[in-house]
Amino acid sequence: MNELSIAVVVTALNEEAYICDALDSIAAQSRLPDQTIFVDDGSSDTTTEQVRKWKSARGFDVQILQQTHLGISSARNAGIRQTDTSLIAFLDGDDLFTPQHLARLEQEFLRHPELILFFTDVSTFDEMGTVQSSFLAGKPIEAVAYDETPTGTRLLRGSLYSSLINGCFITVSSAGVRMEALKDTDCFDNTLRTSEDRDFFLRLSRVGNVGYIPVIGALKRLHSASLTASTSSLRISNCQLQVLEKMINSADELLLSPEEQRLTRESIAKLAVSMIYAARRDSWIAFASTLLKLLAKGYLPPSQFIAMVATGLVSRIGHMTGQ
């Protein structure tokens, strides 16, 4: 079997404290990448300077790109445009690869040329140590039908789309993708500042078959400066709604089955309720504007709108009177 070429796209925003650890994990791979591209998404700290120092000290070839702060999607897309390999793997600037990650991806893609995406489990950690030894334990991936190979890899035959519709459980840093498949996905959506991974994997699941390697391929770092930690729940919910609306509006193009469309609409309905509660915690203005938006889009029946307004008023009055 011929070797496949692999590129790693590393993206970062103000990760000066962690970026060298991420690069060390690439240099420690048992199967080194053929191309490593680092994209700085407008950092205001010394992230890029740290990469240059690391590159000089280690003698490891890293292509360095810098852009104004346009978001993680734009940064990943900028890296993708620079690749000329058959496979691409992603690594966020505060995450780590485990030493066999790229080798496993290559081996599985060689064994299964019909598959366009493989992903692994991840562990999460913080400054105190491991938080979750298996991020995917108990996640919807366990309910997706699959055929198991002699190596233990799961070739998914159930609907990955249906399992992802209520939330993305695939960590970008754990995934490897065939470059040819990205031509049919428009890569990452530049209009999304969060939930871009959910959108990406939902669309990619419509392009071809997917495999899951049930081992730890990446370590995800949890820290206070991470994107999720610094983004309001209402903003995240609005991006999630944008993703789900995109799926429904592209149902014919994505060849969504009636069942998949039903599940998508159910997910929108669930999200609408969580958005209302998130907005109520945010401010009265956010609460009112969210209610009106959901009503206008038809995601909130008039009777439910009236009930929510009444509930919000009572809650607001109680807050103001200290009751």
Contacts of 286 (CB under 8 A, 6+ apart): 234, 279, 280
**According to the model, what pLDDT value does residue 313 have?**
46
Residue 153 CA to residue 92 CA, distance in Å, equals 24
SS3 content of the chain, % helix, strand, coil (to 5): 45, 20, 35
Is residue 312's pLDDT more than 80? no
**According to the model, what pLDDT value does residue 277 have?**
85
Query: Quick one: pLDDT band at residue 311, thresholds 50, 70, 90?
Result: low
Residue 183 CA to residue 164 CA, distance in Å, equals 21
pTM for this prediction = 0.89
Q: CB 92: neighbour CB atoms within 10 A?
A: 24
Q: What is the distance of C-alpha 78 from the center of its chain?
A: 17
**According to the model, what pLDDT value does residue 319 have?**
46
**According to the model, what pLDDT value does residue 306 have?**
58
Q: Is residue 63 within 8 Å of residue 35, measured between CB atoms?
A: yes
Best CA proximity match to 7, nearest among 34, 28, 40: 34
Best CA proximity match to 213, nearest among 297, 126, 149: 149
Phi and psi for 76 in degrees, rounded to 5? -65, -40
Is residue 322's pLDDT more than 70? no
**According to the model, what pLDDT value does residue 226 have?**
62
Query: Quick one: pLDDT band at residue 318, thresholds 50, 70, 90?
Result: very low
Q: Mind listing the pLDDT tens digit for each residue in 35-83?
A: 999 999 999 999 999 999 999 999 999 999 999 999 999 999 999 999 9
Residue 199 CA to residue 243 CA, distance in Å, equals 6
Q: Is residue 72 within 8 Å of residue 196, measured between CB atoms?
A: yes
Q: Mind listing the pLDDT tens digit for each residue in 97-147?
A: 999 999 999 999 999 999 999 999 999 999 888 889 999 999 999 999 999
Is residue 323's pLDDT more than 70? no
Residue 50 CA to residue 54 CA, distance in Å, equals 6
Residue 215 CA to residue 224 CA, distance in Å, equals 27
Q: Mind listing the pLDDT tens digit for each residue in 271-293?
A: 998 898 888 888 889 888 998 89
Mean pLDDT of 249-278: 94
**According to the model, what pLDDT value does residue 169 have?**
95
Q: Which helix (H) or strand (E) holds 182?
A: helix 179-182
Phi and psi for 73 in degrees, rounded to 5? -65, -50
**According to the model, what pLDDT value does residue 233 have?**
84
Q: With left for phi above 0 and alpha for psi between -120 and 50, is residue 132 left, alpha or beta?
A: beta
Mean pLDDT of 181-207: 92
Is residue 297's pLDDT more than 60? yes
Per DSSP (E only), the strands in 35-148 are 35-41, 63-67, 87-92, 96-97, 115-126, 129-132, 146-148
**According to the model, what pLDDT value does residue 213 have?**
98
Is residue 153's pLDDT more than 80? yes
Residue 227 CA to residue 205 CA, distance in Å, equals 25
Domains of the chain, each with CATH number or no CATH? 6-225 (3.90.550.10), 233-321 (no CATH)
> Average per-residue pLDDT in the chain?
90
Amino acid at 112: H
**According to the model, what pLDDT value does residue 25 have?**
98
**According to the model, what pLDDT value does residue 1 have?**
44
Burial annotation 55-80 (CB, 10 A radius, 16+ → b, else e): beeeeeebbebeeeeebbbbbbbbbb
Residue 2 CA to residue 293 CA, distance in Å, equals 54
Q: Mind listing the pLDDT tens digit for each residue in 221-252?
A: 998 766 444 457 888 999 999 999 999 999 99
Q: With left for phi above 0 and alpha for psi between -120 and 50, is residue 156 left, alpha or beta?
A: beta
Is residue 310's pLDDT more than 80? no
